[in-house]
Structure 1
Amino acid sequence: MGTSASKLNRAIMADIHRLSLNQATTERWSVKEAVEGCLRHGIPSIGLWRHKIHEAGLRESVRLVRDAGLHVSSLCRGGMFPAPTREERQQRIEDTLRAIDECAELHADSLVLVVGASSAVGLVDARKMVEEGLAAIVSHARESGVRLGLEPLHPMYAGERCVLNTIDQALDMASPYAPMEVGLILDTFHIWWDPYVLQQITRAKGRIYGFHVSDWLVPVPDLLLGRGMMGDGVIDNRTLRGAVDRSGYAGPIEVEIFNQAIWDMPGNDVLSTVVERFTSLV
């Protein structure tokens, strides 16, 4: 092998230690298949989704990641707090309390909170319900050793998925709590558009629990399933990563892609592309 090729391989291996596969990127795979895929491709961390864990069983999921020596970068998700009735809101709080227990069992870095939205209650009331829902779970998370990661989502989701839409807004909601209790998950798909994103990332120093990457395709093929592989769209993932790194985050970087075309590809082909694009573009 030539000298230049050897240097390239060393650079790839040096950087891949930050890479984490968010399980959503290989939606068709079970926990077992995703774990095995990470091992085949040298990916050291994985972000797990609760519906996949429930399919496999929590105990089996814990065993699989432990035996593989994988680090669990996140568990997704809790939250979805707004709802028109008190009973529904309480059910969502109780579900998130269960998610905290699952996160503790998996020794995940944080529980991702997609806080929810509801057209039935309106934006102002929905945000108040999120504050109330967060307040109801923080003590259990603290006792369980679980960090709660608020994920601000792109404003196009404010009506049905998430009423936290900027980093500053999420930081304001996290501010009543200690930096190691409530922080942020920053996803480039959701934050890249903001003209103040770099200043907001700087402000988030000490509360960044996770960093996710993908790309924004032009045109966007679907509001939910329209994310692209890094390099196929317009997001400058490397600049955003640099800002996050300078703000003190040195943990795993998850590749999280919701895209039916990618889900329909062979999973090993997806992971090969993930590794190549991550090391060259992130």
Structure 2
Amino acid sequence: MEWPVIIITLFVLWVASLFKILHESLSASQAAVLNDGGVFHNRNVLLVIAHPDDESMFFTPTLNYLSSRGCNLHILCMSSGNADGMGNVRKEELYLASIVLKVPQKQVKVLDHPALQDGFGKSWNSKLLSKIIKKEIVNSAIDLVITFDNYGVSGHCNHQDVHQGVRKLLQDTSHKEVDAWELVSTSILRKYSGPVDIWLSLLSAKFHLSGVRHCLLNEHPRRSLAAMAQHKSQWVWFRKLFVSFSSYTYVNCLKKIN
């Protein structure tokens, strides 16, 4: 009798979590629940990722939240994801996904640098990454950068390298005026808990020092599926399951990089 009870409980919690997200997306009370003190309002934001589809698999709660709060969004993708020889295809797919995510296509840049090629075991130089990010910040008047944390959600070395590139940039005293935030990686159990993780994320943000961590619910979760579906070359069965069951589809916790 224990397993049926557990399954029913998880189902009820899943449904309740989805209703919570829907309620926050429709209710004027969302400002109280997701109050960031104006930290993420009306900013020039640069999302720094490693591969096309990172934005749709991991950062859609953040992009939807920022878009609805008047932010001017830019995406800098450090590679074309050419590990399987499909870099040109994946580059175009990112442009299509950016339209779904309300990011102007002209503000999406995909690199194909010989020293920044996609692949496990291919380390990227943090000085080179810092130089590229710095140039984009200057050219686009960026004042807020968002990227992966040191683990990079999935542990992919390229995700981790991008994080180190942002950290290297922050060591430059001339760019102290730029805020940088990282997407907090969670345990594998939380990663695949879907919308249920919103409760743990909200508690996590609540008990951290004010202004250091913010929890952003996805106000348009179906947009995550629509965006990822634009990456047709990557839209295979296991990624469909990932986007459906991943907590990163429903909530992002951002932590300030000091």
* TM-score w.r.t. length of structure 1: 0.36
